[in-house]
Amino acid sequence: MKLLLAVITPKGLRQPEARSLVQMYMKRATPYLRTELLELPTEAAFVELLSKRNGRTAPYAVLGDSRGKAVTSEDLAASIETAALAGASEWLFGIGPANGWSSDTLAQAKLTVSFGRITLAHELATVVAAEQMYRALTIRAGHPYHVGH
């Protein structure tokens, strides 16, 4: 299974600090699973990506939303496990556009995840998601990162 981190960002991730942190966590994750960062110009492009990949191997889509479910990192690890057991070829975490996800897109998610009720800039939310994806993989693997960081 592959992990995708998709962010809706018309001009791409422009803050080098954010990009570098995202790339660092995604690189750290690769010993566990392949990862890919997708910078998409519009929510429509994201929905198209979901439908293009739909079918037998539909991605297991988890969407970041401040009004979503307050989950633990163990819950995220469990959702990756659930996707793997269900035979999904991709587990995807989506960071939405400046005005948030539409209700139609949210309805396509297996899980909506809140990092707290605060609103994070999409670049920061992407960094948090990348770290949580890495943390979830270390939890699945029994690696001590989750205990010490």
Sites for ligand SAM among residues 8-47 (CB under 6 A): none
Taking the complex as a whole, how short is the minimal distance between the CB of residue 90 and ligand SAM, in angstroms?
Answer: 18
The only residue of 85, 107, 118, 147 in contact with ligand SAM, by rule CB under 6 A = 118
Contacts 24+ apart (CB under 8 A), 54-61: 57/87, 57/88, 57/89, 57/90, 58/88, 59/4, 59/88, 59/89, 59/90, 59/91, 59/92, 60/86, 60/88, 60/90, 60/91, 60/92, 60/110, 61/92, 61/94, 61/108, 61/109, 61/110
Residue 137 labelled as part of a binding site: no
The only residue of 60, 91, 115, 134 in contact with ligand SAM, by rule CB under 6 A = 115
Residue 120 labelled as part of a binding site: yes
Q: For binding to ligand SAM (CB under 6 A), which residues are involved? A: 64-66, 95-96, 98-101, 114-116, 118-122, 125
Binding-site sequence positions for S-adenosyl-L-methionine? 96, 115-120
